[in-house]
Chains A and B, each alone.
Chain A
Amino acid sequence: MKLNYNKMLRITNPSQFILMSVLTSAFLAGMVFPLFSLFIKAFQDSGGSFVGLSNYVNYFSQPALFYSILNTLNVSLTTSVVSTILGFAYAYALKRTNIKFKGFFRYAALFPIFVPTVVHGIGLILLFGRQGILTQLGLEIELYGRIGIILAGIIYTFPQAFLMFYVTLHYADGRLYEAADSMGCNALTKFLRITVPEVKYTLVYSLFVCFTLAFTDFGAPKVVGGGYNVLATDLFKQVAGQFNFNMGAVVSTILLFPAILTFVADRILIAKNYSEISAKAVELKVNKNSLRDGLFFAVCFLVVAFFLIFIGALVVNAFMRFFPFERCFTLEHFRFGRAFGGMQSFVNSISMSLLTAVFGTIFVFIYTYLIEKGKGMNPLKKLGRLLSVTPIALPGMVIGLSFIFFFNSSSNPLNFIYGTVIILVLANIVYFYAVPYATASGALKKLDKEFESIAESMRIPSWKILSKVSAPLSLPAILEIFMYYFVNAMVTVSAVVFLYSADFKVASIAITHMAGAGNFAQASAMGLLILIVNLIIRSMYELYLYGIKKQADKKGADLPDD
């Protein structure tokens, strides 16, 4: 009987099955149950009794709140279109033209992901605000409000759009362009008939992703939004200002909408995109065209120049006594006020990010390993895949609010993590889970699928094949995941804004408070600290990649024949 039971469930490896079950339960407790309690709250009154849709009726009958939706749509749409066009042009310049300094441009484009979005807003204030450097030079724009949120949104989402196109444009099939040349097609025809179809899925996906990021961002609208309300700031006001948790839950469900659309688009487009890359593709040779190169160089140059001025503004404000009036060097702005948690909040950020990176990487890698390489357990694997990709659809504030509902409930045995660093780490791990999962899954899929079979035949336990073969071979991916978790945990505001406690403030939140208090010098200083730490982590990772590439070149140099 026992054999038959095993056969039905296909539990051929009990220890793997137990581990898989434990990790899946952890995922349920860290994501599904909290979300569930959030949804329930949207249909309850503050006393906890079921009220149907009346919260929603209430919400939509308040014109101010309803306008927030239109505002949010307005800024997100503009942001996503501009970012996508800019990201495409920038990636095209690096992959399909012969401009100089490509290496520099590539890394420079990533600058915005190393600072919190609230710093994007602060930088804009330093440039275009009332005392702004560019304002003083006569370049006046109406920063606070719609324009400011859109500009900050573009800075925030540009690197994401750029990275997506950079990957897609990398896989060019040179044969198509050669065939077109042999038929006498001109440059425009080639662009419209070959390049655009190549990137069409990425184009759509980039629009979705940028839209969702802008739709759910909190940091930038908080500092440059002025009186222009968007959903994320509304959510914050409802929860942190008026303690109206049920209305907060309602806004959260609205915030989820574009994210769910992105999620669906992601599933559909990924499947389509990968089927179209031919294994026989030939590398594209970029022909000479100095007009084109000049044009695209100008695009890259302008973007990077703006970033440099941006960083320059942060530096100037961080190191000068009182820019622009007192221009002498000082370090006093790095003595952060006690109300902002002092230097401790920066230390807290680093320890929170390290914990997130360590535990996140371990969890992602082991769980993905079981999903990709575990024996049998097909229903659990399916569930695991679904759980792993879901976080891509979850805005940070939604996770934060759902954690309040779930973990702050006195009946929850995990209640003790509330208000500690643990809940912050957990929120970060969940919030940023989807990308590390894709990285781990991609790396593990590249490994020979028979390693596990060989191990079984040689009676080597599966943990040993994981620790001695699969993990060492996936080290680049593991470090990438570590870096991704660290950098993102350092900069996130939205995932932690509802969850940090007075005893454990983090740097990104401190910056938000500094900006709120008008202390842009300290905010710039803290922003620079985060930037520097993230750049150090990223450089270490790049150095490591460079090292293994050199090693591989050396090893592969002398291949023998039979």
Chain B
Amino acid sequence: MLKGVSAEINKGELVCILGPSGCGKTTLLRIIAGLETADQGKVIIDGKDCTMLPPAKRNFGIVFQSYALFPNMTVEQNVLFGLSQQKDLNKAQQRAKALQVLALVDLLEHKNKYPAQLSGGQQQRTALARAIALSPGYLLLDEPLSALDAKVRARLRLEIRKIQRELGITTIMVTHDQDEALTMADRIIVMNNAVIEQVGAPRTIYENPVSTFVANFIGTMNFYKNYAGTFGVRPENIELTKNHLPGNFWTGKVSSLEFKGAMIRVYSKLHDNLEICVDLPAEKAATLELKENDTVYLKAADRHLLQYADVQEAV
């Protein structure tokens, strides 16, 4: 059940609908596709009211999380299946178009294989090729990468983005993976509990999350309360030393250290048991020789402080 959801998507951009599972993002996508009908509200595409239009008349391509490749057809036949319905193309033109999109997703050499003979990434690209073969007006991607290994996923993010730019096709992608949204999208629509929390460019959303939910869902945010209200600050925007600092600062005790490769995340407990985490470059952490129970001093610049009305439950 979506509540008062309203968003505009511009021609040629890639928009990510980001949110935790069950937030209504897939429902929104299916309504845009016409696979489900909204009880209220309108879907307007190219200035036309398409709310009651069946999917076939909306001119979109779609890739599902499961890919839904036809297992009894080869890669090429999967792509040709839709093309064969296009009466204005003759057989040779249909075939040429199929080969063209297969070249675009770099699957030409695998065109005679069946889906069961492909790797996950190749299956994903087949689904993408099938979706763009009919040159649709817009492209819908429903969690297209979540069935893949981390490495393959990272590579395909770039590939999908590249193809999307080449074709200049308006794309709406649903995902629950914040990294995916931040790296791929022109704009992100953050959803939670069936409402839109924030719409904006990735950088804006990261630097200026309008709600504590967005702040917590995208990246990590420390929250604290004082007489002036609730404030949030990102872990990488806090300065940490072992010596006293000038001006306002917090004093804390290191409770644990988390090794994250290039970064070390330092958790420290303040006097009132509030836990604050700080991200330090590994090199700096090494020179500080931090250990558990060390006393540390923390400070954040005012420009990094974000004020919130209230703290929502983090997900």
Contact = CB atoms under 8 A, between A and B. Distances in A.
Interface in B198-252: none
B121 interface: yes
B68 A451 contact: yes
A450 B82 contact: no
A473 B114 contact: no
Nearest to A558: B117
Contact of B114 (A450, A469, A555, A561): A555
B30 to A, nearest CB: 8
B21 interface: no
Contacts of A227: none
A559 interface: yes
Interface string B253-289: 0000000000000000000000000000000000000
A472 interface: yes
A453 interface: yes
Interface in B50-81: 52, 54-56, 58, 60-62, 64, 66, 68, 70-73, 81
Contacts of B56: 456-457, 459
Contact of B70 (A456, A469, A556): A469
A137 B136 CA distance: 82
Contact of B64 (A10, A453, A559): A453
A458 interface: yes
Contacts of A460: 81-82, 85
Contact of A456 (B55, B117, B122, B149): B55
Contact of B37 (A7, A453, A456): A7
Interface in A468-505: 468-469, 472-473
B55 A457 contact: yes
A560 interface: yes
Interface string B80-121: 011001000000000000000000000000000010111111
B134 interface: yes
The winner among A7, A450, A451, A454 for most chain B CB atoms within 10 A is: A454
A562 B54 contact: no
A12 interface: yes
Nearest to B71: A473
B72 A454 contact: no
A6 B68 CA distance: 29
B52 A562 contact: no
B52 A456 contact: no
Nearest to B34: A456
A527 B227 CA distance: 94
Given A558-B117, A560-B118, A560-B119, A456 B68 contact: no
Interface residues of A, number: 27
A59 B77 CA distance: 67
Given A450-B66, A456-B35, A458-B85, A562 B119 contact: yes
A447 to B, nearest CB: 9
Contacts of A456: 34-35, 54-56
Contacts of B37: 7, 10, 12
A350 B235 CA distance: 79
B308 to A, nearest CB: 39
B170 to A, nearest CB: 15
A62 B21 CA distance: 67
Nearest to B30: A453
B198 to A, nearest CB: 29
B3 interface: no
B55 A7 contact: no
B33 interface: yes
Interface string A432-466: 00000000000000001011011011111000000
A183 interface: no
Nearest to A457: B62
A457 B54 contact: no
Contacts of B58: 457
Contacts of B54: 12-13, 456
Contacts of A3: 52
Contacts of A468: 70, 81
A562 B149 contact: yes
Given A460-B85, A558-B117, A561-B119, A453 B35 contact: yes
A473 B72 contact: yes
Contacts of A559: 116-117, 119
A468 B119 CA distance: 24
A12 B56 CA distance: 11
Contact of A555 (B64, B85, B117): B117
A459 B71 CA distance: 19
Contacts of A12: 37, 54
B116 A7 contact: no
Contacts of A454: 62, 64, 68, 130
Contacts of B68: 448, 450-451, 453-454
Nearest to A13: B54
Contacts of B45: none
Contacts of B66: 448, 450
Contacts of B151: 562
A460 B62 CA distance: 14
Interface in A511-562: 555-556, 558-562
Contacts of A453: 33, 35, 55, 62, 64, 68
B9 interface: no
A555 B116 contact: yes
Contacts of A472: 72
Interface string A183-210: 0000000000000000000000000000
A469 B72 CA distance: 7
B60 to A, nearest CB: 6
B52 A6 contact: yes
A453 B58 CA distance: 13
Contacts of A555: 114, 116-117
Given A3-B52, A12-B37, A562-B152, 5 more contacts: A458-B82, A468-B70, A469-B73, A560-B119, A562-B149
Closest 7 CB pairs of A and B: A458-B82, A450-B68, A456-B55, A562-B152, A562-B121, A448-B68, A450-B64
25 contacts: A7-B52, A448-B66, A450-B66, A450-B68, A451-B70, A453-B55, A453-B64, A453-B68, A456-B54, A456-B55, A457-B56, A457-B60, A457-B61, A458-B61, A458-B81, A458-B85, A473-B72, A555-B117, A560-B122, A561-B119, A562-B120, A562-B121, A562-B122, A562-B149, A562-B151
Interface of A: 3, 6-7, 10, 12-13, 448, 450-451, 453-454, 456-460, 468-469, 472-473, 555-556, 558-562
